[in-house]
Amino acid sequence: MFSRSVDLLKRVLGLAILIYLCIFLSQNFSLIKNLNPLSLSKFALVFFGFYFFLSIPFWFTLLKKVPLLDLYSLSFLANFLNLFLPFRGGIIVRASVLKKKFSISFKRYTSVSVLLSVSSIFSLGLFSLICSESAIIRLSAYYYSIKTSSFIFFLSGLIFFLFSHVIVKRFKRDYLLDVFKIENIVVTVICYFACIFLYFLRYKILFNIFNIIIDDFSLFTITVFHLSIGLLTILPGNLGVKEFSFVGICSLFGIPSDISLAMVSLDRVLQVLYLSFASSLYMNRIGLKFSKLLNFRKDGLF
């Protein structure tokens, strides 16, 4: 009963934050300077490209047993549902679909997810270390805490990779040895590098829409730090955490809070629209109903 109450509270809070962002964006629409079909097309191209590169490690690590198109579509579905289901429920739904449709065990799926998580921690830790040497960050009161956190991220990911075979051998599971092969680690890390770069391009387009001039290294620093904070999940889809952390990071670079909140609000609205469109197409294709998703832990999916 308590768990259900917490789940419901998180859904309500997430929805309330999303509504607030939409209202705030509508009230501050005059801040948007260059919103046009071309900028929206560029944003969509980078947005969909991000999820494509995010799907490649799954496809490669699962030994290409699942078509890349299905993994790509499932990425949209999982991330769309993460906006509304607590405890990253979209990831659980993706695992259920993979098990039902492609006979991928939950254990293997979990091991691949661990590889992806460690790769993101390593990649963001590495780039955070580099970005922490930005002149603005070095002069801020948060320099040493940022530097320390970045080093811990990077070092923990590196240690896991260096000793991954020793670690997984202790569990004596063949599927773990298959997942944590050196080639899988390399492909996953490279894809995460590509995803970080695409996220940088996404924010570059966003800053251009609001006619905010900023140098590329500073924008890359904002991107990396914001993605790093995104590793912490509180509400579904990180609603609230993503938005207000973005405002805080941008304030270090002299960007007014009303503009940065309007930017991240537009980013969130476009994210919801694109994810809902792509997810609905895939759900219709596999015969998955939204009513089932709301009670997926109780009723199952199919």
For residue 198, pLDDT over 80 is answered with yes
Across the chain, what does the average pLDDT equal?
Answer: 84
Per-residue pLDDT at 56: 94
Burial 144-169 (b: 16+ CB within 10 A, else e): eebbebbeebbeebeebbeebeeebe
* First-to-last C-alpha distance (Å) of the chain: 25
Which of 45, 71, 77 shows the shortest CA–CA distance to 58? 71
CB 69 within 8 A of CB 84: no
For residue 259, pLDDT over 90 is answered with yes
Per-residue pLDDT at 288: 67
> For the residues 262-277, what does the mean pLDDT come to?
91
Name the residue range of residue 110's domain: 2-299
Per-residue pLDDT at 10: 65
* Reported pTM: 0.87
- Sign for the CA dihedral angle at 211, 215, 218, 223 comes to positive
Alpha-carbon distance 267 to 257, whole Å? Answer: 15
Per-residue pLDDT at 88: 67
Alpha-carbon distance 48 to 171, whole Å? Answer: 37
Q: What confidence tens digit (pLDDT) does each residue in 17-38 have?
A: 778 788 888 888 888 888 889 9
Burial group, residue 278, by CB count within 10 angstroms (0-12, 13-18, 19+): buried
Q: How many structural domains comprise the chain?
A: 1
Q: What confidence tens digit (pLDDT) does each residue in 139-176 have?
A: 888 888 889 999 999 999 999 888 877 776 666 665 66
